[in-house]
Structure 1
Amino acid sequence: MLYGKTVLCVVLSLLTTGVFSSITEPNFADGRTVIVHLFEWKWTDIAEECERFLGPHKFAGVQVSPPSEHLVFADNPYSEYDYPWWERYQPIGYQLISRSGTPEEFADMVTRCLAVDVRIYVDAVINHMAGGGYVFPKVPFDEGDFNVKLGLCPTEDGGIHDVNDTVQMRYCNLLALADIHYGELNNYYGRDKVVEYLNKMIDMGVAGFRIDAAKHMYPAELDDVANRLHDCTFGGRPYIYQEVIDRFSNEAIKPSEYFETGDVTEFKFCDQMALLGRASVPADRFQNFGFDPSWGMMPSESAIIFVENHDNQRNHGGGGDILSFQEPREYKIGIAFGLAWNYGTARIFSGYVFEHSDQGPPSDTSGNTNNVVINAEGMCDGGWICEHRWREIRNMVCFRNVAGDEPVENWWDNGDNFIAFSRGDKAFFALNNERIRQSETLQTGLPPGTYCNLITGEPTATGCSGSSVVVNEDGYAYVDLLPSTDERDAMVALTIAATSGRSDYTGCVVEAAAVQLKFNLLLIAITVLVQLIY
């Protein structure tokens, strides 16, 4: 019964294609559900990663660093670290020339990733240009194309001094960066140049955009831009998700103002996952996480969720005491729960080691970004962390894919830090965040069978590469978990696609050819059996 139901679900999934209709549809292919931000990777490395890892492991997409021309801080005046990461957020033109590569390399990356069903989402810096002046001949822009020079900013120095003044927030310069005018005072020239830049990438196959500093733009202006974008080359509207920081619900500018334009980054998710991962609050409180109004979070259908991003990892925009690779035990707990849960659209982060918040990616002395090094164990070296390749994280991407839109059911907790729940009859997750061993017989919602715990490994032809869990005829399983350490994860993640002894399990799901072959064999066996009976 388990195998037949699994085959049917997988076959239907493989035969079904998405229908995209709006800027809030993420354009994911084949039931894929998770974006990974490959922070500061070169286009050539991303293309290879799509083909060798992200495509086979069923990642939905890659958020790439800003591809536009940018200032180069060869002599960083703010710290000892030259070529800082944030130079990418100071554009000087809209040609696709950056330290990640050339226009040709960018186009090749998009094409190769799209060929393996991995979409590309561009981090679009369109609120401002670089600091230090108002003339940008490479666009071209001059003083008449900026809000401060047009007299729309009410402060004397053109900076933002009152975050509760929405006019300052949207018409003055953020951190001295030249704020672009989108209106009629320059005959909408600023808007049109930005639309031209974005459409150029859509026509190459880009699937959507993260709008940097969206909070500092009027929603109507962003909506105007979105409405002028071309359709995606593979069909449907480009996906828009916007950076609007609102950690404490006391901001003058609310995320809800931007829901009509696209999805919005939910920074409160980061804070809550830090509390969960560190057991600062008991896990049993997360039974209605995100959905109950008491959490103060945006609607699930509008939320982009993440445990960290490139800013708050460094205690910059939206920064705080959040989880990152520097706390691997707690980090994996936060990531695993977030991907197992059914709230929001998920994005994970993949970065590099840094000692100072300014520090750019692994590079040579001239600021040329180094290649990403993949070692013999399939992990990364050379200063790159590649969190998305960690077994627990890549396999929880699989979990979320299989769980799909199934609701949270069969919630159980011990009144403290041992919790479990199912995602309908597709998946089951348990977490022991206690300091002592915990065990319990729990309802998984799953059909009977032996399942591989994806936290510890994957199915093999003879069983599981990690631990396994047996589900009985009534859907119950005995869960026994020692407390977590940096090397041991006190979690269980089961899906109907990851059963013990499944030799056709590749990259989260059963391969289509193998499914068809076994389905055909099953039909033949049934036919023969019927003939024998009659």
Structure 2
Amino acid sequence: MVKRCKASNVDVYVDAVINHMTWVNRSGSTKYGSAKSPYDEYLYPGTYQPWDFHRCGRNGDDSIANYHDRWEVQNCNVTTCADLNTGAEYVRTRLASYLNDLLSLGVAGFRIDAAKHMHFADLQAILGRLNKGAYIFQEVIDFGYEPIKSDEYFPTGDVTEFRYSRNLARIFYNGKLSWLNSFGQDWNFIPASKAVVFVDNHDIQRGHGGGGEVITHKDPETYILATTFMLAWPYGYPQVMSSYSFQDPSQGPPNHEGGKTKPVYDNNVLQCGKEWQCEHRWEPISNMVMFRNVTSETSINNWWSNGNNQIAFGRGNKGFVAINKEDKPMNHVLQTEMPAGNYCDVISGSVKRQECTGQIVTVTSSGKVDLKVGARRAIAIHIGSRI
């Protein structure tokens, strides 16, 4: 898989769970993992022995109860998952060996799960043993009111900015898009050069791991508008989600009887839009990824809003976007820095064989556009969508 992705210029980042193992097995009988490997309470034969774990001795089951206690957060179990002693030499060596094995397969880097549950010095020691360079981003849930802070982990890589998702949802559901004109570090977010941002991820869409009211695929209209903004706005390194439908927050992926996961392709037919959601394939979102790439070296210009829920802004002379979250059309003549010509709106369609399958937007010789954006819709053009 890694080789196939690399051949298509797609890098693979592994979600590395190195802080802990599975839920502590206190059943009294041996349990088995998905690959049929046995494990018991704080015992993973051939891999970890009981002395390779923290046993914090708190709260009756060694689990975290007080997130305002730094020591407890980094030495007790996350939701009863057996917490590895990442300060121990054997554990550090074992984890580094695992990561190096993945690098040897060609992966480009790692998302470090539950990073704040490891002391930053432990993480530095483990990542310092990698055999070659890798892109690292770390899950640190920091809303500003706990002792462990995102900036402690800047030396080892980028950091997830969970405040981004929560505030974006607050604005799109209960606020005004006009507030977004300074969205980013001015909102007490971490520096843009260190932030990994997302509308939702696999945890918070289920209410887990810093979850709350966030925008998900279950509200596709708002999801497209919010993702359009994220990919057009130059703050952080954006992630695009790809989900499956669920009713229960603990529900696994679509599967056949017996538990085998259903393929996304069935008899060469893509199964998106039913059990598989595939947000990354939704035309407006996949097209906005190109918008992001085309405009990556530009800054914001020509910001406009109606003071409420209609906004527009440019990205240098490379792109322009307008978002209308109101229940009435947005009809305005606005200034851009785009070269004169006809452009394909990449939200409503795509350029195929030099023709636009969606709305055509015309930029005049003076850089003006006569925008007509439908209710709860967006328009985006970029230099690559000129026809």
Scaled to the shorter chain, the TM-score interval is over 0.9
Aligned to 2:50: 143
Q: Find out whether 1:383 has 2:237 as its counterpart.
A: no
SS at match of 1:164: coil
Aligned to 1:465: 357
The question of whether the paired residues in 2 share the 8 Å contact of 1:430 and 1:493 is answered with: yes
The question of whether the paired residues in 1 share the 8 Å contact of 2:19 and 2:86 is answered with: no
SS at match of 1:350: coil
RMSD: 1.7
Q: Within 2, Cα distance between the matches of 1:128 and 1:311?
A: 17
Structure 2 spans left out of the alignment, 5+ residues: 26-40
Alpha-carbon offset, residue 177 of structure 1: 1.1
SS at match of 1:119: coil
Aligned to 2:97: 196
Length-normalised TM-score, structure 1 = 0.67
Alpha-carbon offset, residue 431 of structure 1: 0.8
Aligned to 1:291: 185
- Supply the AA of the counterpart residue of 1:136: Y
Aligned to 1:172: 76
Structure 1 spans left out of the alignment, 5+ residues: 1-108, 232-236, 485-489, 501-534
Aligned to 2:285: 393
Q: Find out whether 1:496 has 2:383 as its counterpart.
A: yes
Alpha-carbon offset, residue 370 of structure 1: 1.2
Alpha-carbon offset, residue 153 of structure 1: 5.3
Aligned to 2:213: 321
Aligned to 1:282: 176
The question of whether the paired residues in 2 share the 8 Å contact of 1:373 and 1:381 is answered with: no
- Supply the AA of the counterpart residue of 1:258: Y
Q: Within 2, Cα distance between the matches of 1:470 and 1:494?
A: 10
- Specify which of 135, 146, 149 is matched with residue 251 of structure 1: 146
Structure having greater relative contact order (Cα 8 Å, sep ≥ 6): 1
- Supply the AA of the counterpart residue of 2:190: M
- The 5 A counterparts of 1:208-357 are 208-231=109-132, 237-247=133-143, 249-278=144-173, 280-292=174-186, 295-357=187-249
SS at match of 1:337: helix
Identity of aligned residues (%): 42
Aligned length: 371
Q: Within 2, Cα distance between the matches of 1:414 and 1:155?
A: 53
SS at match of 1:429: strand
Q: Within 1, Cα distance between the matches of 2:354 and 2:76?
A: 63
Q: Find out whether 1:157 has 2:58 as its counterpart.
A: no
Q: Within 2, Cα distance between the matches of 1:360 and 1:379?
A: 17
Structure with higher strand content: 2
Alpha-carbon offset, residue 126 of structure 1: 0.4
SS at match of 2:102: helix
The question of whether the paired residues in 1 share the 8 Å contact of 2:301 and 2:314 is answered with: yes
Alpha-carbon offset, residue 291 of structure 1: 3.0
Alignment CA distance shift 1:439-1:157 (3 Å): same
SS at match of 1:336: helix
The question of whether the paired residues in 1 share the 8 Å contact of 2:320 and 2:381 is answered with: yes
- Supply the AA of the counterpart residue of 2:183: F
After the TM superposition, which of the residue ranges 174-183 and 209-218 deviates more from structure 2? 174-183
Alignment CA distance shift 1:291-1:382 (3 Å): closer
Alpha-carbon offset, residue 460 of structure 1: 3.2
Q: Within 2, Cα distance between the matches of 1:414 and 1:253?
A: 40
Q: Within 2, Cα distance between the matches of 1:375 and 1:339?
A: 33
Aligned to 1:95: none
Q: Within 1, Cα distance between the matches of 2:267 and 2:359?
A: 25
SS at match of 2:228: helix
Aligned to 1:67: none
SS at match of 1:469: strand
Alignment CA distance shift 1:178-1:457 (3 Å): same
Alignment CA distance shift 1:498-1:239 (3 Å): same
The question of whether the paired residues in 1 share the 8 Å contact of 2:54 and 2:75 is answered with: yes
- Specify which of 409, 432, 446 is matched with residue 301 of structure 2: 409
Aligned to 2:369: 477
Alpha-carbon offset, residue 138 of structure 1: 4.1
Alpha-carbon offset, residue 379 of structure 1: 6.1
SS at match of 2:156: coil
Alpha-carbon offset, residue 389 of structure 1: 0.8
Aligned to 1:59: none
Alignment CA distance shift 1:217-1:454 (3 Å): same
Alpha-carbon offset, residue 251 of structure 1: 1.5
Alpha-carbon offset, residue 273 of structure 1: 2.0
Aligned to 2:31: none
Alignment CA distance shift 1:157-1:442 (3 Å): same
Alignment CA distance shift 1:125-1:462 (3 Å): closer
The question of whether the paired residues in 1 share the 8 Å contact of 2:302 and 2:313 is answered with: yes
Q: Find out whether 1:123 has 2:30 as its counterpart.
A: no
Q: Within 2, Cα distance between the matches of 1:383 and 1:393?
A: 19
